[in-house]
Structure 1
Amino acid sequence: MKKNIILLAGAILTLTSCSLSEELNDSITKEASNNILGSDQALSSAYQQLRSFQNNDNQLMLQEHPSDEMAGPTRGSDWDDNGTWRALHLHTWTPDNAKILGSWEQLYKGLAFAIDAQSFTGITASQKAQAVFLQSLYTFYITDIFGQVSMREPGESVSNLPSKNLKRTEAIDYAIQILEAQLANLPDGTAATSYIANKNAGNALLAKMYLNRAVYKATDATGKPQAGPYTFPAADMDKVITYSDAAMVGRTLQTNYFENFGPTNGEVSTELIFTAKNTNTEGGQIHSLSLGSLHYNQTPSGWNGFVALTDLYNKFEAQDKRRSASVPGFTDKHGLLAGILEGPQVDEKGTPILKRDSPGQLIFSQDFSLTNSTEEKGMRVVKYLPDYNKPTQASNDFVFLRLGDVMLMKAEALARKANTADALVIVNTLRVKRGATSLVSLTLQDILNERSRELYWEGHRRQDQIRFATFNAAVQGRTTVTDAHVLIFPIPLAKLAANPNLFQNPGY
């Protein structure tokens, strides 16, 4: 995937490593760094930090493991990791959970880069708008996960505590406000340049923030989140509809669903709205999203980890292309299907793939145990197709926002305004394109289910379940109904000690 990151028409952004940016941020003055880096390189660091989303750690896993889509079984001594994955699925995490701490550092690092880029001398209006978009994006994620946001203003000294400390009810309004103020200054973009924060991306992010705003506003005086069902103001839903319409301009549904996630997705997909860019020579760890699930004896050899829940698998019709599909140029060469892998596994010649630790064919079962699974237990997922040109340095771009998501956001907003007729048209347009049958009627539960079918393992599910008030319910592998305090995660203890403006979230 050979692409240049274009900040302005005709201008090439020179990439700077995050480690260099960290060193400069820690050891020299802002005036000196202005002279060394400049606004292009500073903004580059903010973009590069987006690659931290595309692996088996941190924010993406906080959105999927606690949901009804994913689990991490322990297989002997494999994948135990001190119970980290079990705690996420069982909703029993504590403030010292490594994935929670990693998510905090991941998100705040990106937020700092985005804010820092705005303070550089000579930054253009377009560059500033892109930096504000990234600031809004990180603020949204921090609000969603941790329920409070502490940040500095551009140019503020890092030797002082952050001056802006926002509660959950305030942070969402702030993230919306700063992005709306800069929306007109974002560059135009196409699906092929979706790795640049563009107007479509700004509109899509605003639609998502307005859609979830009612959830964050439902917080009591102590900071404890309130469980749904929530009341969604009509004015917010109108904003979702308006911004969704603007976000969809110039985008069309991809004929082959899995091309949205293949090694050339940034070049061929017509759905992409905002992505993180990867190439075979430069990029993140996106290969881990498939290898973390695939079995050792499959091609490429995986790590035999995360599995899909029956709660997800059973939502699909058999003919729905999103559940599982043979992809030309992929399945015929390597034997691997795309989507959810269930049942007997074979190679490209139809020869059975064998188990590693016991005789017989590898047959993925729907059942699993969080504490004691054998190697074949649990259905696997291949969402981002392995890049066989360089399996551990894949060129698949990581997808943050795309057309299918925005269509369903608009449908949900319409349904929450009791306009199920227009919402049904949108949902059926998507379903027919994906090979599923049309629905004859539509409920909010239907929309939640469709979001799972369309967006599984993309990092949306926890947020969606919370909005629809199903997150705390029992699922496969978790038999208990959990308390509302787990709707947000705890503040890591080390971060509380370092910043007295933070407070521990109730229930932890």
Structure 2
Amino acid sequence: MKQKMTVNNFKRLLALGVLSGVLLTSCTDLEIEATDSIFLDANDSTFQGIEDPSSFLDGVYNSLNGFIGDQTNLFALSEVTTDAALIPTRGADWGDNGQWRQLHEQTWPTDHNFILGTWNQWNGLQFQASQVLSDLTEASPELKANASFLRALGTWVILDNYGQVPIREVTGSPIDDPIVLRGAEAVDLIVADLTDAINGLPLAGPGSGNTRPEKAGARYLLAKVLLNKHVYLGTQPDPADMAQVVTLVDAINAEGYDLVGGYFDIFRPDLDNETIWFLQTGVGNRIYNGLHYNSTITSGGGWNGFSTLAEYYDLFEGDPNINVAGSGQEERRGMVPLQGLPVGSVAGANGDDNGDGFIDGSSVGRGFLIGQQYADDGTALSDRVGNPLTFKREFQDAQGNTSLIGNDETTGIRVTKYSPMFDGGFTNHEIYFRYSDAHLMKAEALFRAGDTGSATALVNELRVLREATPIGSVTAQDIIDERGRELYAELWRRNDLIRFGQYTNDWTLKSPSAVGDTSRNLFPIPASQLLLNPNLTQNPGY
């Protein structure tokens, strides 16, 4: 039965996509004992509260390490379904029954593993956060504020990707069908939770660790939700929402968060004024999934999978066919070094395991890797069959056809922001919320409110810092392109393209059937969930 819910009623609900939603399917660090939730007895599932909410929340936050740090599920849905990333099949490598190719082609089936995995993970997050928020759980105001943030985050991820959010009353029977929130009702719940989080989370500022979201993290997420609100409601942007985005970003800036120079230094395992929230998860997935097997001696080499499209690479200033120092590239495009760095020349970097006098992994470039690649000692690298290891713009099979299958080991421009010369690349420091994103959200909000002059000034402030040419007067295309240049491989590309109406655009190796198909803007509700909860409805086009 359909129900009209108020915000007060929302706060007494928990989200649950499947009856076993708390049994998360991805590899995570989550360890929660059965005794953490109190039940009447083995035959009565009536919820009685969380016995140790502090430890319970530690486990919930640890689960996010897998949700965000993985290369599957949310990361794959956010990046591989766009123009920013693709994984061609190279011989037998990365075939995986076509699941990577289906994402980039936008031909995913309703039972795609990553679509189901994302659904289960983030609905499970809502479930756990709502247990802490229950009146039956005795928790401090700060713990409740953390739970409010987590529930808002989980609800938002489901709304953004699937367009509908299943909600179950905390103390209800597990056999009852959860109600489903869509549009304004779902946004109202998220906004209410984030308002509570802003009020209850500490005000610590940059450099304090940032492994849990503080007030700035909740403000950032609320700004993100409001910037996208018109997408969820099917309306035009509300000037009041845009004004609130500006106010939220200004409040983050007032806490001490700001733009910083040295783009790739942001992605080192150090604290800075740019990072609003990072996760204590290894960044190896962001490095090795694109590097060739022979790219580096650290961690046994790369996995030779993830690449990007030439048209995405061409968003950046610089020679389209080379990316080395002096070739005119802007800072964010990075570069391919011609050799490694001497041992001891970079604080906090690796040692020299092979005795060649260079920091292990320091010959691996940052940003976009194209052309000949080099070893630490400056030797030109080869692939496994002895051909020059030159990353190429095109994806071609042996007959020269543009294709996602039949590629050799060197097709595709590779991408990495994190360097393997720091602890082999598995340092627990992956950034999720950054001030540069907030800065660009403010610019976009001002632009959507009609203040092109102020928006242009903000975009150019960032471009000058990143050694790029200022823009005369920004357009909507300039803003989405700037977000692409600043935030690549940070889980925002799909969200951005949808907000700018470009997720249905054509790009290389996208299926012609998906071009212009707005049904791709939402993923399908997994078939198993439709059977379990008749209040869910399959999204159009599936």
Q: TM-score range by the shorter chain?
A: 0.7 to 0.9
What letter corresponds to residue 290 of structure 2 in structure 1? Answer: S
Work out the number of aligned pairs and report it.
467
User: What are the equivalent positions in structure 2 for 1:30-45 lying under 5 Å apart?
Assistant: 34-35=50-51, 38-45=52-59
For the Cα contact (< 8 Å) 2:49–2:131, is it kept in 1? no
Deviates more, 1:376-385 or 1:493-502: 493-502
The yes-or-no answer on 1:238 pairing with 2:243 is yes
The yes-or-no answer on 1:289 pairing with 2:286 is yes
Task: Give the whole-Å Cα distance in 1 for the aligned partners of 2:152 and 2:305.
Answer: 33
**Pair 484,59 (structure 1): closer, same or farther in 2 beyond 3 Å:** same
For the Cα contact (< 8 Å) 2:275–2:435, is it kept in 1? yes
Deviation readout 1:121-160 (Å, 9 max, x if unpaired): 331111101110111011111000011101234x425624
**Pair 208,472 (structure 1): closer, same or farther in 2 beyond 3 Å:** same
State the match for 1:450 in structure 2.
482
What letter corresponds to residue 441 of structure 1 in structure 2? Answer: S
State the match for 1:254 in structure 2.
260
TM-score, with structure 2 as normaliser = 0.81
The yes-or-no answer on 1:18 pairing with 2:52 is no
Deviation readout 1:75-130 (Å, 9 max, x if unpaired): 11111111111111111111111111111112112222222222363311111011
Out of 206, 209, 213, the residue aligned to residue 222 of structure 2 is: 206
The yes-or-no answer on 1:323 pairing with 2:333 is yes
Out of 528, 538, 541, the residue aligned to residue 494 of structure 1 is: 528
The yes-or-no answer on 1:176 pairing with 2:191 is yes
State the match for 1:270 in structure 2.
273
**Pair 103,25 (structure 1): closer, same or farther in 2 beyond 3 Å:** farther
Partner SS state of residue 277, structure 2: strand
Coordinate RMSD, CA, aligned = 2.3
Task: Give the whole-Å Cα distance in 1 for the aligned partners of 2:53 and 2:271.
Answer: 30
For the Cα contact (< 8 Å) 1:237–1:417, is it kept in 2? yes
Task: Give the whole-Å Cα distance in 2 for the aligned partners of 1:23 and 1:97.
Answer: 34
For the Cα contact (< 8 Å) 1:49–1:109, is it kept in 2? no
* Bigger radius of gyration among the two: 2
Deviates more, 1:141-150 or 1:312-321: 312-321
Task: Give the whole-Å Cα distance in 1 for the aligned partners of 2:93 and 2:34.
Answer: 34
For the Cα contact (< 8 Å) 1:384–1:396, is it kept in 2? no
Partner SS state of residue 154, structure 2: helix
Deviation at 1:387? Answer: 5.8
Q: Which runs of 5+ in 2 are unaligned?
A: 1-27, 319-328, 351-357, 396-402
Out of 468, 476, 490, the residue aligned to residue 508 of structure 2 is: 476
For the Cα contact (< 8 Å) 1:248–1:406, is it kept in 2? no
Deviation at 1:289? Answer: 2.0
For the Cα contact (< 8 Å) 2:364–2:419, is it kept in 1? no
Task: Give the whole-Å Cα distance in 2 for the aligned partners of 1:500 and 1:67.
Answer: 31
Q: More relative contact order in 1 or in 2 (CA 8 Å, sep 6+)?
A: 1
Partner SS state of residue 133, structure 1: helix
**Pair 291,360 (structure 1): closer, same or farther in 2 beyond 3 Å:** same
**Pair 26,257 (structure 1): closer, same or farther in 2 beyond 3 Å:** farther
TM-score, with structure 1 as normaliser = 0.87
Deviation at 1:441? Answer: 1.7
The yes-or-no answer on 1:359 pairing with 2:371 is no
Deviation readout 1:230-258 (Å, 9 max, x if unpaired): 62111111111111111223112232212
For the Cα contact (< 8 Å) 1:387–1:395, is it kept in 2? no
What letter corresponds to residue 205 of structure 1 in structure 2? Answer: L
For the Cα contact (< 8 Å) 2:49–2:137, is it kept in 1? no
Task: Give the whole-Å Cα distance in 1 for the aligned partners of 2:57 and 2:309.
Answer: 39
Task: Give the whole-Å Cα distance in 2 for the aligned partners of 1:126 and 1:372.
Answer: 54
What letter corresponds to residue 306 of structure 1 in structure 2? Answer: F
User: What are the equivalent positions in structure 2 for 1:36-75 lying under 5 Å apart?
Assistant: 38-51=52-65, 52-75=67-90
For the Cα contact (< 8 Å) 1:189–1:196, is it kept in 2? no
State the match for 1:93 in structure 2.
108
**Pair 137,422 (structure 1): closer, same or farther in 2 beyond 3 Å:** same
Partner SS state of residue 292, structure 2: coil
State the match for 2:120 in structure 1.
105
Deviates more, 1:25-34 or 1:412-421: 25-34
The yes-or-no answer on 1:398 pairing with 2:414 is no
Deviation at 1:168? Answer: 3.4
For the Cα contact (< 8 Å) 1:79–1:305, is it kept in 2? yes
State the match for 2:24 in structure 1.
none
Q: Which runs of 5+ in 1 are unaligned?
A: 1-15, 219-229, 279-284
